[in-house]
Amino acid sequence: MRTTGAAAAPCATYMTDKVGPLPFCPGCGHHVVTKALNQALVKLQLDPRMVVIVTDIGCIGLSDRYFTTNAFHGLHGRSVTYACGLKLARPELTVVALKGDGGCGIGGTHVLNVARRNIGITLIVANNFNYGMTGGQHSVTTPSEGITSTTPWGNVEEPMDLCGTAIAAGAAWVARGTMFDKDLADVMARALAQPGFALLDVWELCTAYYAPRNQIKKKELDELVERCGLQRGVLADTPRAEYSARYRAAYEAGRPALRRRPAIEVQHGNSVERQTGLVIAGSAGQKIRSTATLFAQAAMFSGLDATQKDDYPITVMTGHSLSELIFSRERIDYTAIESPDYLLVISEEGLISTRDRIQRLPDTCTVYAEQSLDLPATSARVVRYPIAQAAARNSKQSMAVIALAAMLQDTGLFPLDAFARAISTFQAPKLAEVNLKAVQAGAALLSA
C-alpha cells in the first residue's frame, strides 16, 4: 500500500498480481477491458496516486483491486456518483468509472446526468448484455430476442443504445468498441485524456451465460453491433467546458453579492408585559410570511425576543398563508399559539384557515380584519378596516404591512419606527420605499 516519495517513472504497469489472478471466467471480456485500461494508463504515464478507478457491483466491479492506482468500490449502479464526487472535490484527479451494463440500468439517471453536466470523468462500460454475477438475467442492453435466464424465449424488450442515449443527453465524447478491437487501449487512452465527460461502451462476451446461450463468438459479436443498427468508433467528439471549470467561472464572473446580515440592536422600547401571540392569515402571494419576519425583526429592534411559525400548503402562489408570531421579554419555549392575543385576517383564504379559531377566541383577543370579510360570530373584540382599499392606493403587495402597521398603531406594542427600521434595514431600497409608505398608510387607518 505504500507509495511514498516521488512516483517511479516510467511506469511499466498499473496492475499487480499481489492479490492473485484476475477472477474472471476463461474467455470473459473483462480480462480484455482491464488489461486495455492498464495499457491506456501506461501509455498516459499518469501518477497512480492521481488516478482513481471507481467500480460498483457486478463482475467488472471486482477489477479495481488489481490496479495499483487508488480504488473506490461502491454500491450497485452508483459508481458514477462517487466518481463525480471525487472529481468535483479534486478536479485534478483522473477518475475512471468502470461499470457493467447492469449498473447502467439501475444507475441510468447518473449516466444521463453526468453526460449532461459534463463532469470530467471517464465511464467505461463493460457491456456483456446480461448480469453475469447473479445468474445471467437480462439487462438494459440485452439485444432483442436475446436468450437470458429471465428471457428464456427471447428478449421482448429493445436494448438501450448507451452511446446514443449519452449523446442525446449531451455527452462530449462517446465511443463504442468491442473486446476484439486492436486499438481498444488507444481508444481508452483517448477517453481518459478528455477534459470533459467521456463514455466508452465496450461490447464483450460473457462466456458463462450470454455467449453460450446465444452462440456468440468474435464474428457474431462484430455482427451484433450492425444487427442492432448501431455504429462503432468515436461517435461524438464535441469538447465543451468541463463542469467544475464552468461552475467556478460562472461564480467568479457573477461575483455574487455577499448577503447582508445586519445585527439587530435594541433601538426602541416596547409595552409588551407578557408573552404575546399574534396570528396573521392571508393568501399566498400577499407577502404574509416575509412581512411577519419584518414585524418580528421590528419587535427585536424594540428589545423583544420573537418566534415565527408558519403554516401553508405545498402550493406556491395559491392557498392560504399564515404566520404565528410570539413576542416576549423572556425566552420563548413553546412556539405554537393556543389562543392568540391578536389575530389579523386579510383575505378570504386567510379567513377560511382561521374561521374555527376566530369562533373560539375569548374576549381578551382582538381580531383585525379586512372590512369586506364576513367574519363568524366571536367573543373577541373585532376591528374592521379597509386594508384592501389602502393597499390599492399603495401597492397590492403591501396589504400585510398595512394591516400590521394599523394594528401596531392601535396597540402600541412597540413603535411604528421600529417597523420602519426593520423594513429599511432588511429590504432592498425600492421595496422598502413602497413599504415605508404602507406603514404610514396603515397607521393612518386606525389613528383616528
Of 39, 118, 151, 293, the residue at the interface with another protein (CB under 8 A) is 293
**Does 37 help bind another protein (rule: CB under 8 A)?**
no
d(CA 350, CA 385): 16
Residue 388 CA neighbour count, 13 Å, CB half: 12
Q: Tell whether residue 259 is a contact of another protein (CB under 8 A).
A: yes
Q: Considering the rule CB under 8 A, would residue 423 count as an interface residue with another protein? A: no
Provide the minimum distance between the beta carbon of 83 and another protein in the complex, in angstroms, as a whole number. Answer: 7
| Beta carbon nearer to another protein, 219 or 261 | 261
* Closer residue to another protein, CB minimum distance, 20 or 229: 20
The three-point CA angle 114-120-122 to 5° equals 80
CB 316 to another protein: min, Å: 11
Q: Does 430 bind another protein (CB under 8 A)?
A: no
With binding defined as CB under 8 A, does residue 176 bind another protein?
no
Q: Which stretch binds another protein (CB under 8 A): 128-136, 203-211, 248-256, 368-376?
A: 248-256
- For the CB of residue 161, give the shortest distance to another protein in the complex, in Å: 20
Residues between 261 and 280 with contacts to another protein, criterion CB under 8 A:
261-265
Q: Rounded to an integer, what distance in angstroms lies between the CA atom of residue 357 and that of residue 355?
A: 5
**Among 22, 31, 247, 373, interactor with another protein by CB under 8 A:** 247
Within 57-86, the residues that bind another protein by CB under 8 A are 57, 62, 65, 68-75, 78, 80-86
Residue where the block lists cell 465524447: 173
> According to CB under 8 A, which one of 30, 33, 39, 110 is a site residue for another protein?
110
List the one residue from 17, 252, 356, 374 that touches another protein (CB under 8 A). 252
Question: CB of residue 30 vs another protein: minimum separation in angstroms?
Answer: 16
Site for another protein in 318-347 (CB under 8 A): 332-336, 338
Pick from 186, 305, 348, 417: which binds another protein (CB under 8 A)? 305
Closer to another protein by Cβ: residue 339 or 395: 339
Which of 92/356 has CB closer to another protein?
A: 92
Which of these ranges, 143-151, 207-215, 250-258, 340-348, lies near another protein under the rule CB under 8 A? 250-258
**C-alpha cell recorded at residue 319:** 392557498
